[in-house]
Amino acid sequence: MWKKIFLLMSLLIYCQAGFASPLENFSPGHAALDVNWKPDAFRGGQNKWDFSGTVGLNGRWAINYRQFDFSPNFKGNQLETSNKEVNLLYKINPNIQLYAGYSIAKGHEMFSGRRLPQQNMAQGGIIAMKSLGHSTTLYTILGRGDNSANVEFGVSYLIRKNLELNVTYRHLEFKKLGPEKLEEDFRGFGIGFTYKY
């Protein structure tokens, strides 16, 4: 446990500041659009997509919307889950951002079609980035909410002006959903693009 905490703290201290590839400039008129494909996963299904958009409000604040659909398995039942979230981001310094927001997870059983209880959750976390050279950035996103957790690591590479290629790992989980106390999670790698303007 202490080794994991030390590793996590080392990454946060080493890292610099969003989502998919984080938006660094929060000035009005600046934005980032992200598309990330999860071709396969240790848990949570295949061929899943993660979409997000971040818009700068002023030099310190930005707003983010994100949607991710995945297919967890719980006690032998195949589920289809959609998670949508809205977050307010605050830039502490060029290296660190904090976020707080609201997340909605809902879905259904794939075979029976039975709807799963919708879970509304407050959440918050930290975003850190570190430039590894002229075109490469390492970033991490660590979040926690009411019965939810999100851990992400990624590397972005600037392939042309305003366009970045991303390679990511994400672990997203929800616990104690509804009266059945469902547990849903996704763990897998992804590849995608971020367009910043």
d(CA 155, CA 135) in angstroms, rounded, equals 10
Count the domains in the chain.
1
- Domain span holding position 47: 2-196
Element (H, E) at 11: helix 2-14
How much is the pLDDT for 115? 87
How much is the pLDDT for 180? 74
CB 109 within 8 A of CB 94: no
pLDDT in tens, 137-153: 999 999 999 889 999 99
Query: How many Cα atoms occupy the beta-carbon half-sphere of 181 within 13 Å?
Result: 0
Per-residue confidence band for 196, with pLDDT thresholds at 50, 70 and 90: very high
> Mean per-residue pLDDT for 170-190?
83
How much is the pLDDT for 2? 41
pLDDT in tens, 152-174: 999 999 999 999 999 999 999 88
Q: Which CATH number fits the domain that encloses residue 143?
A: 2.40.128.90
